[in-house]
Structure 1
Amino acid sequence: MPDTSCERAAAEEYARWFQALADPTRILIVRFLSGRPEPVPAGVIVDHLGLHQSTVSHHLKILHRVRLLTRRRAGASILYAVNARCVTQLPRAAGILLGSPARPHPQAGPD
């Protein structure tokens, strides 16, 4: 019998990711960060998007809350990066949504 509790937990996590990505600004943030080899200070994201710092901070908080982004303090700055786990799991989540055969869910913990 399949472990539906694991499937349910994965589905709930994927739903949170898709909900967080249901905003164009957050998609632009993830896209910008995914092209960077190193974590980026919030101010660089603000400059790139040309939005107010408070607006970008709000979106970064949402993306971090669902673990699409990682963050760490470096002096007075907070550096953001795309969660490496999401790089592999987000396409898998889209595949499941679209009916692709499911593969085993890695047990890697979130950052």
Structure 2
Amino acid sequence: MDVSRQDAETWAPWFRALGDPSRILILNLLATERRAMSVGEIVEALDLAQSTVSHHLKILGEVRFVLVERVSTSSSWRINERCLSCFPSTAEVVMGRIPAGVSPWDEPASTDRTGRRT
């Protein structure tokens, strides 16, 4: 077995975060737009309630699939670019297609415009 218990415990929340169609739609939108978007923009693009989008962004942020950028009193959300390459590799490790050795990314959960942790 290539996957350690520690890796399984790290990766399980990632897969759980994808367990809702709205979260998949939000991730897809942010990944294809390739820019930070406000909650309002996401609401408009996906025709979801603001509270629904906020709830799902919180869950996606907890596993760092998305990162928040805070400027003054507004927040924008963007895809964590590292998940675009890391997550598919993780899925391949779990499915036994490639050897273990993928580690979680270490980008801060939220940054300001200069890239500093907030």
Alignment TM-score, normalising by the size of structure 2:
0.79
1:77 CA displacement: 2.2
Map 1:22-61; keep pairs closer than 5 Å: 22-61=19-58
SS at 1:99 equivalent: coil
Aligned 8 A contact 1:67 1:83 in 2: yes
Aligned 8 A contact 2:69 2:77 in 1: yes
Q: Identify, as 1 or 2, the structure richer in helix.
A: 1
Aligned 8 A contact 2:86 2:105 in 1: no
Greater displacement, 91-100 / 55-64: 91-100
Q: CA RMSD in A?
A: 2.0
Structure 1: which 5+ runs fail to align? none
- CA–CA separation in structure 2 for the residues paired with 1:59 and 1:108: 20
Counterpart for residue 78 of structure 1: 75
Change (3 A) 1:84 1:10: farther
Aligned 8 A contact 1:33 1:40 in 2: yes
Aligned 8 A contact 1:17 1:66 in 2: yes
- CA–CA separation in structure 2 for the residues paired with 1:107 and 1:48: 30
Counterpart for residue 94 of structure 1: 91
- CA–CA separation in structure 1 for the residues paired with 2:46 and 2:9: 30
Structure 2: which 5+ runs fail to align? 109-118
Aligned 8 A contact 1:14 1:90 in 2: no
Alignment TM-score, normalising by the size of structure 1:
0.84
Pairs aligned (count):
107
Task: Calculate percent identity across the aligned residue pairs.
Answer: 39
Aligned 8 A contact 2:34 2:79 in 1: no
